[in-house]
Structure 1
Amino acid sequence: MGKLIKVAQADNGAENRPESALIIARAEAEAEIMIGAAEKAGYEAGRAQVEPLAQHVDSRCKELRQSTDRRLQSGIRELVGSCLDALLEDDERFFKLVRNALRSQRRGREIFLRVHPSRAAHLHEHKAGLIAVLGRARSIEIREDITLGRDGCVVETDAGMLDVGLGTQLSALFEGIAP
């Protein structure tokens, strides 16, 4: 038979287990609190770093939008101006522009039109069509004015003077729709 070397002792750790479980539970709770505090501190630190960057990005986006809006408006003005210039190359279309402008000047007795010399001959030929839209005035004098652009036209009456040229009308239009 064998010889007994050591006798097993009763496990006294069983009575210490509830205490060790309590220590572990406390340690886990403290760890959770520390992790939560660290997460919050990290979040706040990250937010503090990101906040100025976000403000800078917002500011830059606003600048870019404004710059893009200005360039877009400028491009639209050029495009509309080019299209209308091309349309008004035709003397008949320019005549219609002037005739429509005269409709708003029906109260004057004496009417003078100042136009670029290249437009004067066509308007002289169609003077009756211009007089037809006038109210009280029965005559119209067409004067050549080299200071005006090809599509420029100034209507002068005893009531006042009105620039009805294409450039002026486009400027007024774009001022009306500018942000």
Structure 2
Amino acid sequence: PPDPRLEAERFLQETRRRAEEIESQAYNQGFAQGRKDGEELGRRQYEARAQRLQEIIRSLEDQVRRMLAKHEAQVIRLATAVARALVRTEIRTNPDVLRVAVQAAMERVVEGSRVRLHLHPRDAEIVAEHYASGAAAPGRSSVEIIPDPQVRRSGCLIETDFGLVDATVETRWQALSEAVEELLRERTRLPAAD
């Protein structure tokens, strides 16, 4: 007959082995589940942080757009002032700028008309040399150059039988400024770019 003690001992060993097996299996399942849960938690945290970062980036982009829109007019005015200073320097040092400006203004004058060209006295000397031959004013019966201290450098007033052409620096800058401001007004009416 089987020895009850041996049977009990075998039963205890089998129970221990089975308990260790169950414990190991439970540990492995718990570890795997914990790992899965941890990875899922980490993924959710990562996605939440990534989404928050995207929101911050969009917010910063919006702030930059608003700031640029708010200061765009000032930047354009500053750029215009700098350009004006550079043009004034160029006008003083390059007589071709004056010749081109006068020629452009003369193109608006009706052919065959008598022309009285009012220029700053220093500019009158430069233009007089250019018009001395008469080749610079084809189709004009006469071009009279009048030194006029009221006209600023690189500007001119052209008096004809048909009226006055104002090609002063101030008038040209005013036209340019109005065009830039109109462009700015059109831009501010447009929706922001994404």
Sort the TM-score into its range (normalised by shorter chain).
0.5 to 0.7
Distance (whole Å) between structure 2 residues aligned to residue 84 and residue 72 of structure 1: 18
2:125 paired residue among 118, 122, 127: 122
Shift in alpha-carbon separation, 1:19–1:85, aligned structure 2, 3 A: same
Residue type of the partner of 1:18?
Answer: E
The structure with more helix, counted as a fraction of residues: 2
SS at match of 1:154: strand
How many residue pairs were aligned?
Answer: 169
TM-score norm. by structure 2 comes to 0.57
Please state if 1:84 is matched with 2:87.
Answer: yes
> How large is the Cα RMSD of the aligned pairs?
4.4
Question: Does the 8 A contact of 2:154 with 2:168 survive in 1?
Answer: yes
Where in structure 2 are there 5+ consecutive unaligned residues? 1-5, 188-194
| Structure 1 residues 91 and 24: alpha-carbon distance in aligned structure 2, compared to 1, 3 A threshold | closer
CA distance in 1, matches of 2:133, 2:80: 29
Residue 120 of structure 2 corresponds to residue 109 of structure 1: no
CA contact (8 A) 2:109 2:165 kept: no
Task: Kindly indicate whether the alpha-carbon contact (under 8 Å) linking 2:98 and 2:155 is maintained by their aligned counterparts in 1.
Answer: no
Q: Pairwise mapping of residues 163-174 of structure 1 onto structure 2 (< 5 A)?
A: 163-166=166-169, 168=172, 172=176
- Equivalent residue for 1:28, pick from 28, 31, 49: 31
Residue 157 (structure 2) aligns with: 154
Closer, same or farther: CA 91–51 of 1 in aligned 2, 3 Å: closer
Give 1:79 shift. Answer: 4.3
2:64 matches 1:61: yes
Larger displacement relative to structure 2 (12-21 or 101-110): 101-110
Moved over 6 A (4+): 66-72
Gaps of 5+ in 1: 1-6
For 1:45, the equivalent position in structure 2 comes to 48
Q: Percent identity?
A: 12
Structure 2 residue 19 is the aligned partner of structure 1 residue 16: yes
**Stretch of structure 1 that moved more, 101-110 or 69-78:** 69-78
